Structure 1
């Protein structure tokens, strides 16, 4: 009947609207893959600073001694993560955002809904991508090169460790970092973009600048959690400690100094400026074209 056909068309239309946010998120992240490749040495330098508590000069010298072949060891997981991360993060946040008003009417302010949806998307993101981050951190730690020389050897060793100590090591700090980071990003994205656009900039430039500013703020705020995760995940086997014990050990190793804890923070800003600025600009442009 016409009514049934109309209902089917409406359902298909709604499905396509939901699918677009996943598609646009994945596309924007895929297009930012090239900058990820370019800045990967920067990321690896930051990682070495987080693990070994060294200066930029010493971290770069260490990578130089290891040679160009090992420079990109561990690049595969972040490349896969970048594309899948954007697909899941933007798509799931949009899906949750569409569902929240139905269940939270008169309870939560409409302005807070994007942040709440971002929080939920961040938790799911942590569940999906913690294993990727674990593999990446093991591969980037030069101390694992001799006994875990290949990706296959790393995967087999982590499987033998069990889920909690293997692939999902440091899940709690990752979940906290991703949930709060996504909440801040999506909560601030709209207001910051509007404020920047009021300065007379083009929509593309406004999106790029807003993505850069927000990711800079988020990265710096949550940087200590990233340092904790890197230190918890870089090692395989040995004396396994919990989150609180690892944090206490990390804080002590940094001489209880925020300056030492934030080593590499400036490079995180550089990386965020490139990747999240581009991702935000491309995503917003696709959304406006399809809107």
Structure 2
């Protein structure tokens, strides 16, 4: 019973301490587990995401966003799901895999301190931002209802981006809004990994079923991270919805525009935040619980083989 309540963080520390000092181990399994857990949670929570995005772009109430999607018809409801499904699967692969590798590189024999977890989380968020910004950019254009006629498919967006010069493809095309994405992802990853294990460990000591600490830990981390970084989330959505050479505001101009259009009120910046918090809480709760479940199953199979 005691072994079942060990958190993934403690199990990782026990595993790394058992390895020879200086031995490099990239734990390829962490990449696979991250991919599967993020794929499943993204598929389950996509309907919430679609409503949230409309709120961020149009600053409308939940009921209005739902009504807008309803009027567009069911054939458009899952429009834009493939980029986030692919990007979130890659995100899980990079986020969990890179974090695990970097953590073991920073502290090969453990124990892993808060500083180690923060640094590994921060760097894994940087890798994630560099690799996945193009996917998010295409996804945000696809989900903007104002651009359905001009850009009916992913191919049409890629064709537009590829018509620019090299620098234009990066700054105006695939990596539009990169700096707020970088800040959001690196800080979000650092916060998530820094506090996931301590929360999970504390709950596991209460004798709860092993899936409860993982679910609660992921939900709490997702909620806190979302609250702290929500203004960046809104800024990214608005910056990446722009397309074309004309009327492409700078980062500062985009931030000012979001602030002005929200009436210079922080409360209006957080409009739509309730659903974002719900989505983040559910998504990261499910992701953490699924990841923990798959990790336990994989470890159990290995132990059976060694017996």
Q: Could you say which TM-score interval applies, normalised by the shorter chain?
A: 0.7 to 0.9
Q: Could you tell me which residue of structure 2 aligns to residue 263 of structure 1?
A: 271
Hey, what does 1:128 align to over in structure 2?
A: 131
1:31 aligns with 2:37: no
Query: Do 2:56 and 2:272's aligned partners in 1 also have CA atoms closer than 8 Å?
Result: yes
Shift of 1:138: 0.3
**CA separation of 1:254/1:198 partners in 2, compared to 1, >3 Å: closer, same or farther?**
same
> CA separation in 1, counterparts of 2:26 and 2:293?
16
For 2:162 and 2:197, how far apart are their aligned partners in 1? 42
- The yes-or-no answer on 1:65 pairing with 2:74 is no
* 8 Å Cα contact 2:222/2:280 also seen in 1: yes
1:274 aligned partner: 282
Aligned length: 273
Aligned equivalent of 1:247, options 228, 238, 255: 255
Per the alignment, residue 94 of structure 1 pairs with 100
Task: Report how far residue 60 of structure 1 moved.
Answer: 1.5
Q: Is the 8 A contact 2:26 2:101 kept in 1?
A: no
CA distance in 2, matches of 1:286, 1:48: 33
Indicate whether 1:191 and 2:194 are aligned: no
Partner of 2:16: none
Q: Compared with structure 1, are the counterparts of its residues 183 and 60 closer, same or farther at alpha carbon in structure 2 (3 Å cutoff)? A: same
Q: In structure 2, what is the equivalent of residue 160 of structure 1?
A: 163
CA–CA separation in structure 2 for the residues paired with 1:33 and 1:261: 25
Equivalent pair of 1:197/1:203 in contact (CA under 8 Å): yes
Q: Distance in 2 between matches of 1:93 and 1:24?
A: 13
Q: Which runs of 5+ in 1 are unaligned?
A: 1-9
**Higher mean Cα deviation, 266-275 or 218-227?**
266-275
Q: Is residue 53 from structure 1 mapped to residue 56 from structure 2 by the alignment?
A: no
Counterpart check, 1:179 vs 2:186: yes
Task: Return closer, same or farther for 1:15/1:24 CA change in 2, 3 Å cut-off.
Answer: farther
| Alignment correspondent of 1:286 | 294
Cα 1:31/1:50, change in 2 over 3 Å: closer
1:15: how far off? 7.7
Unpaired segments ≥5 residues, structure 2: 1-18, 300-307
Work out the CA distance in 2 between the residues paired with 1:63 and 1:148.
Answer: 17
1:100-155, Cα deviation, whole Å (9 max, x unpaired) = 137xx9xxx82211111010000010001000000000001111111111211011
Is the 1:212–1:277 contact (alpha carbons within 8 Å) kept by the matching residues of 2?
yes
Give the alignment's Cα RMSD to 1 decimal: 2.2
State the TM-score, normalizing by the size of structure 2.
0.83
Per-residue deviation at 1:184? Answer: 0.1
Instruction: Please report how far the alpha carbon of residue 189 of structure 1 lies from its aligned counterpart in structure 2 after TM superposition.
Output: 0.6
Alignment of 1:198-213 (within 5 A): 198-213=205-220
Deviations 1:77-116 (A, max 9, x none): 11111211111100000111111137xx9xxx82211111
